[in-house]
Structure 1
Amino acid sequence: MDMKLELIMVPVTDVDEAKAFYEKVGFVVDHDHTVSDEIRFVQLTPPGSACSIAVGRGLTEMTPGSLDNMQIVIADADETHADLVSRGVEVSDVQDLAWGRFIHFADPDGNRWALQQLPDWSAGAAT
């Protein structure tokens, strides 16, 4: 049996501000649909990802900013860091650990993200 994670709700205060932020990070807006005054659904997908996020109104009961350490795998931490900085995204320095190279950022509500460049296990990286 296959199970595929396809959508994660990200709790935010201001839908338009969150949408603009995630677009600045490089996420693609798949759609933005207002169902009613109570429900608005904005789906965004990181480039190359099979899983999207949704921000909006009436989507979740989580407190805005309560997601901690959502993780995305990237090919090159230095390249990604430079790209995000050039887009005006406030990011951490690249952190080198035995289990990968990491960059961290938070959205305007404080939902925290980690971007991980996986180690090259074929080169004998520590396990």
Structure 2
Amino acid sequence: MDMRLEVVVLPVSDVDRAKTFYEGLGWRLDADVAADDGFRVVQLTPPGSACSVIFGARVSSAAPGSAGGLHLVVEDIEAARAEVAAHGVDVGPVFHDAGGVFHHAGEEARVPGPDPRRTSYSSFASFSDPDGNGWVLQEITTRLPGR
């Protein structure tokens, strides 16, 4: 049986601010539904993604800004970083990990610049939404077998 990840719930403190931020990145607004009891759910989808994000009022009990390690896969890390920055977002510099595999948590073992060999899965840049939910751009040009 296939199991597809299609929605990630983001904990935010200000629904309208988060909606403005993600729409400002060019993400498609799929839904913005409010109920009379104060419940509200907003769903947006990044360009080219089959997975959406949902946030809202009374959607998550997690602390606002506590989501991290959310990866957006891109074909060109430098162009993707520039595009996100062009939308007014503070994006960190492109980096690769000293170990050459996957990046460590936080900023540990970050080496400035893209992976010198431009190995797929090995170059990154990071940014956060207004609440501090952490995103990572990851360059993938050639998929691992079976992906």
Return 5+ residue gaps in structure 2 as ranges.
101-120
Q: What is residue 126 of structure 2 aligned with on the other side?
A: 104
- Give the conservation status (yes or no) of the 8 Å contact 1:24–1:89: no
RMSD, aligned α-carbons: 1.7
Q: What is residue 56 of structure 1 aligned with on the other side?
A: 56
Q: Which moved more, 1:88-97 or 1:107-116?
A: 88-97
- Give the conservation status (yes or no) of the 8 Å contact 2:81–2:137: no
| The one of 135, 138, 141 aligned to 1:113 | 135
Tell me the SS of whatever aligns to 1:62: coil
Q: What is residue 125 of structure 1 aligned with on the other side?
A: none
Amino acid at match of 2:48: G
Distance 1:121 1:80 in 2: 18
Distance 1:87 1:50 in 2: 22
Tell me the SS of whatever aligns to 2:24: helix
The number of equivalent residue pairs is 122
Runs of 4+ aligned residues of structure 1 deviating over 4 Å after TM superposition are: 119-122
Amino acid at match of 2:23: E
Cα offset for 1:120?
A: 4.5
What percent of counterpart residues are identical? Answer: 43
Please report the TM-score for the alignment, with normalisation by the length of structure 2.
Answer: 0.77
Cα distance, 1:121–1:36 mapped onto 2, change above 3 Å: closer
Return 5+ residue gaps in structure 1 as ranges.
123-127
Please report the TM-score for the alignment, with normalisation by the length of structure 1.
Answer: 0.88
Cα distance, 1:18–1:121 mapped onto 2, change above 3 Å: closer
Q: What is residue 84 of structure 1 aligned with on the other side?
A: 84
- Give the conservation status (yes or no) of the 8 Å contact 2:46–2:52: yes
Distance 2:13 2:20 in 1: 13
Distance 1:120 1:38 in 2: 45
Distance 1:74 1:119 in 2: 8
